[in-house]
Amino acid sequence: MPELRKDPISGRWVIISVERGKRPTDFKIRVPVKKGGFCAFCNGNEHTTPPEILAVRHVLSDPDTPGWSVRVVPNKFPALNIESQLNKVNEGIFEKMDGVGAHEVIIESPEHNFTLSTMPLKSVEDTLSVFYKRISELKKDNRFKYVLVFKNEGDDAGATLEHTHSQLIALPIVPKLVDEEINNSRQYYKKNEKCIFCDIIRQETADRTRVISENENFISLAPYAPRSPFETWILPKNHESRFSPDGKFPLLAQILQKTLKQIDKVLTLPPYNMMIHISPFEEELNKYYHWHIEIKPKLTKVAGFEWGSSFYINPTPPEEAARFMRETEI
Amino acid sequence: MPELRKDPISGRWVIISVERGKRPTDFKIRVPVKKGGFCAFCNGNEHTTPPEILAVRHVLSDPDTPGWSVRVVPNKFPALNIESQLNKVNEGIFEKMDGVGAHEVIIESPEHNFTLSTMPLKSVEDTLSVFYKRISELKKDNRFKYVLVFKNEGDDAGATLEHTHSQLIALPIVPKLVDEEINNSRQYYKKNEKCIFCDIIRQETADRTRVISENENFISLAPYAPRSPFETWILPKNHESRFSPDGKFPLLAQILQKTLKQIDKVLTLPPYNMMIHISPFEEELNKYYHWHIEIKPKLTKVAGFEWGSSFYINPTPPEEAARFMRETEI
């Protein structure tokens, strides 16, 4: 019997195939093949990208030259334009505004063939620090209400360049999905005087079936109502509404890289998307929302049913996914 | 300068690349190749599907034998199970229920190589009548609150069988997306005492830039804030909250087939998803919601930004898409 499960944070329902759940080997995953050729993100080609915004680099090296380990550049084909004001306009019944925003690329390593799961742990930590630093900078621009940091790994997950990188988009609007999560979390807090994420972590830690791994500060788990197979969340164990280092990025880098290694091993290098969910700038310090990382391997297709309902059909129960992840040797 | 546009019905924002919008030839569309082989949906193989639920067939033919033109069968691998009750259960902080629902397949033609755009118009009309009849039947089952009719055409849009077919899923919950559309429409009605869809049709009809085609009863248009390039909606011109024939299915079949022919011609047989948005059963007759068909060619990928924000980036302005559609000769 399939199950209908509700994600209490977003309010969305998913259909979970409980009985004949799909195992990792049931998914057709195309082994990624690096095409090679000229790459603007590689060491030595720094002059072919727009000028860098930020880099972790050797003290004696100059901007836009080799000597860096993580580098942030503007997206050459930005979805939004930084040089603009909001200019809200009504077109009759409709509303629009200029597409103001920042769109940046975080090149996580000068090495073409590294990924977040194979690069030195220090580079993962530096990447997280760079995320934090760019979010902090963009927050000062009062046109922006939110920054979404995300990563598309692999062609099928939407990556257009194969060199390992993340992206961020600063937005003049709090995205609908974030707004819904914030509202539901706020309501839960009003009713229970507790953060819903803290309560989930408490329940999952006691129950264990969906916990994948943990360290002193962080926990990785398969959420109760995941949209897709092997969806995995990483959360700080204690309440934190704001994504910030506070000395914890080494442990975050450790659990993030471990989780990605587990995903790579269990699913044989699947394409995936990774998103960092943070609180909107205007309510960055709050008691109800808990920042977290969501990782979604791209194993299923969004089709008519999903587009017409925002229901998702997930053929792998999260309890099974968590077990595969826990039991894999990395 | 890109634009941020808001869809007033769902409340979602999209980013539209206005300046260097993608033209039809900019999309990489894989020409569909029929694999052939045994097909359970073909004429003569009726005994290999589960027993038929409904068919448009010759009066002298028996169920589950040849002689039909449209045929409805249960999905052999249903996402939800018809033989069950709701059984709501709380698991601590979480909620779930048994996956009760109907999942049916509407085989639109006995001919393997037809599509909705190439089959005889009468078959399109019969398919619409069958949608209506199945919705009407499932409505009588008081476990169900909504039926979503949808179609996945082509492998990349999620079709697992190449023989032309649609599907329907009856659900014990009104899907989140429908609920949001209904709520927003209801609010608009409260404020303006007018249906938001009727107002949109009025504005679009006066403006013309996004109108694709129309006949006596229906209009096809590119919505103001489409999630993806060449997204097209078909709506009844006059207010209708309930999907019902009232003698109008010949005209609906005509505009639907014309629209799909235009899409096939402009984009060279793209994969697409089609969804029929109807009012939930409990408020089937209302003044605020207007049933309609949404057609979404599958030309872009859902990636990290979309998953993390529910924003969509659309590289083709709807005004351009509508112009290509209008100007194509079919």
Adjacent-strand bridge partners of A166: A106
Closest CA of chain A from B145, distance in Å = 13
Question: What pLDDT is recorded for position B18?
Answer: 76
Question: What pLDDT is recorded for position A49?
Answer: 97
Residues of B in contact with A3 (CB under 8 A): 96-99
Torsional class of A321: left (φ above 0), alpha (ψ -120 to 50), beta (otherwise):
alpha
Over range A81-85, report the average pLDDT.
87
Q: Is B47 exposed, middle or buried (0-12, 13-18, 19+ CB in 10 A)?
A: exposed
Residue of A93, A171, A291, A306 for testing the chain B interface, max B β-carbons within 10 Å: A93
d(CA B30, CA B22): 17
Over range B264-271, report the average pLDDT.
95
Pick from A5-19, A176-190, B211-225: least confident: A5-19
Question: What pLDDT is recorded for position B1?
Answer: 83
Pick from A196-210, B21-35, B208-222: least confident: B21-35
> Each residue of A131-177: pLDDT tens digit?
999 999 999 999 999 999 999 999 999 998 999 999 999 999 999 99
Query: pTM of this prediction?
Result: 0.95
Residue B21 predicted with pLDDT over 90: no
The closest CB to that of A304, out of B99, B171, B274, belongs to B274
Q: Is A175 exposed, middle or buried (0-12, 13-18, 19+ CB in 10 A)?
A: buried
Residue A51 predicted with pLDDT over 70: yes
Could you write out the DSSP letters of every residue in A164-228? -EEEEEEESS--HHHHHHHHHHHHHHHHHSS-HHHHHHHHHHHH-TTEEEE-SSEEEE--SS-SS
Could you tell me if A174 lies within 8 Å of chain B, comparing CB atoms?
no
Residue B20 predicted with pLDDT over 70: no
Adjacent-strand bridge partners of A165: A107
Residue A20 predicted with pLDDT over 70: no
Question: What pLDDT is recorded for position A256?
Answer: 98
Question: What pLDDT is recorded for position A21?
Answer: 76
> Each residue of B40-73: pLDDT tens digit?
999 999 999 999 999 999 999 999 999 999 999 9
Over range B259-270, report the average pLDDT.
96
The closest CB to that of A158, out of B8, B304, B310, belongs to B304
How crowded is residue B17: how many other Cβ atoms within 10 Å of its Cβ?
21
d(CA A316, CA A300): 11
Q: Is B71 helix (H, G, I), strand (E, B) or coil?
A: strand
Q: A247 falls in which pLDDT band (50, 70, 90)?
A: confident
Q: A7 falls in which pLDDT band (50, 70, 90)?
A: very high
CB contact under 8 A, B171 and A308: no
Question: What pLDDT is recorded for position B84?
Answer: 82
Q: B208 falls in which pLDDT band (50, 70, 90)?
A: very high
In percent, how much of chain A has pLDDT > 70?
99
Residue B135 predicted with pLDDT over 70: yes
Adjacent-strand bridge partners of A69: none
Find the helix or strand (DSSP H, E) in which A149 lies: strand A146-153
- Say if residues B212 and B259 touch (Cβ distance below 8 Å): yes
Question: What pLDDT is recorded for position B22?
Answer: 87
The closest CB to that of A4, out of B96, B152, B177, belongs to B96
Question: What pLDDT is recorded for position A28?
Answer: 83
Closest CA of chain A from B130, distance in Å = 18
Residue A47 predicted with pLDDT over 70: yes
Residue of B nearest to A314 (CA): B79
Residue of A309, A312, A314, A316 for testing the chain B interface, max B β-carbons within 10 Å: A309
Q: Is A258 helix (H, G, I), strand (E, B) or coil?
A: helix
- CA A320 from centre of chain: 22
